[in-house]
Amino acid sequence: MRFVKESLIHATPERVFAFHEQSNVLEVLLPPWETARVTQSASISEVGARAIVETRILGPISVTWVAEHTLYDPPHMFEDVQIKGPFRSWRHRHLIESQQDGTRLRDEIDYEPPFGFVGRALAPLLIERRLRRLFDYRHQVTRDWCEKGKAEG
């Protein structure tokens, strides 16, 4: 299955990429409504580095999510894959492309939900709805940081 979120950000690709290179970026990108906690950060520039997040997936059910950075191509793209977590598989590509009016930020997530056929059937209602809300928030936070810096400097 695939989830995609795209946004136009009025800043350079280098600025958008720099936002993601901040050491605390995972904490910055966590929405206030998510019950998640970053227990280990990882620099996107270190291929093989692993980030660990403790998160609740449904009610009181929590899971440890381990994501490993697998590709790094500044200022165009970086990628992480789930090593351990709630999905059968998860590959997240962050694509940054220069546009006439700024930069297109595109998150592409290829994933396989848990629970086979039942998980795939419920994904649009449960998983994709949550991803849409999460990435709407993440793109807004990224846009605010990148465009604010552009205006100031």
Reply yes or no: is the peptide bond before residue 75 cis, omega within 30 of 0. yes
Lowest pLDDT segment from 55-64, 85-94, 120-129: 55-64
Q: Residue 131 sits in which domain range?
A: 2-32+71-152
Query: Cβ(49)–Cβ(69) under 8 Å?
Result: yes
Q: Closest Cα partner for 36 from 63, 16, 17, 55?
A: 55
Residue 95 lies in a domain: yes
Residue 53 lies in a domain: no
Q: Binning pLDDT at 50, 70 and 90, where does residue 150 land?
A: low
Q: What is the pLDDT of residue 105?
A: 98
The total of structural domains in the chain comes to 1
Residue 18 lies in a domain: yes
Residue 153 has pLDDT above 70, yes or no: no
Q: What is the pLDDT of residue 60?
A: 84
Tokens 């629970």 sit at which residue? 115
Q: Closest Cα partner for 49 from 24, 14, 83, 16?
A: 83
Residue 126 lies in a domain: yes
Main-chain phi, psi angles of 150, to 5 degrees: -65, -45
Positive or negative, the CA dihedral 144, 18, 42, 120 is positive
Residue 61 lies in a domain: no
Q: What is the pLDDT of residue 26?
A: 95
CATH number of the domain residue 81 falls in: 3.30.530.20
